[in-house]
A and B are shown apart, each in its own frame.
Chain A
Amino acid sequence: GAVVSQHPSRVICKSGTSVKIECRSLDFQATTMFWYRQFPKKSLMLMATSNEGSKATYEQGVEKDKFLINHASLTLSTLTVTSAHPEDSSFYICSAREAAGAGYTFGSGTRLTVV
Chain B
Amino acid sequence: QKEVEQNSGPLSVPEGAIASLNCTYSDRGSQSFFWYRQYSGKSPELIMSIYSNGDKEDGRFTAQLNKASQYVSLLIRDSQPSDSATYLCAVRNGANNLFFGTGTRLTVIP
A49 at the B interface (CB under 8 A): yes
Chain B contact residue count (CB 8 A cutoff): 17
Minimal beta-carbon separation of A45 from chain B (angstroms): 8
| Contact assessment for B41 and A43 in the assembled complex, using a CB-CB cutoff below 8 Å | no
> Looking at the complex, which of B62-70, B77-85, B94-102 is the stretch in contact with chain A?
B94-102
Does B1 lie at the interface of the complex (its beta carbon under 8 Å from any beta carbon of A)? no
Q: Judging by beta carbons under 8 Å apart, are A108 and B43 in contact?
A: yes
Q: Which of B45, B49, B88, B100 has the most CB of A within 10 A?
A: B100
Which of B34, B49, B100 contacts A43 (CB under 8 A)? B100
> Would you call A86 an interface residue if the criterion is a C-beta within 8 Å of the partner chain's C-beta atoms?
no
A64-111: which residues lie under 8 A (CB-CB) from chain B?
91, 93, 95, 100, 103-104, 106-109, 111
A108 to B41, CA, bound (A): 10
Query: A109–B43 contact, CB under 8 A?
Result: yes
Q: Are A46 and B43 in contact (CB under 8 A)?
A: no
Collect the chain B residues with CB atoms within 8 Å of residue A93's CB: 43-44
CB of B95, distance to nearest CB on chain A (Å): 9
Verify B96–A46 contact, CB threshold 8 A. Answer: no
B46 within 8 Å of A by Cβ? yes
Judge whether A103 and B49 touch: CB under 8 Å: yes
Q: Can you name the residue of chain B whose Cβ is closest to the Cβ of A4? A: B43
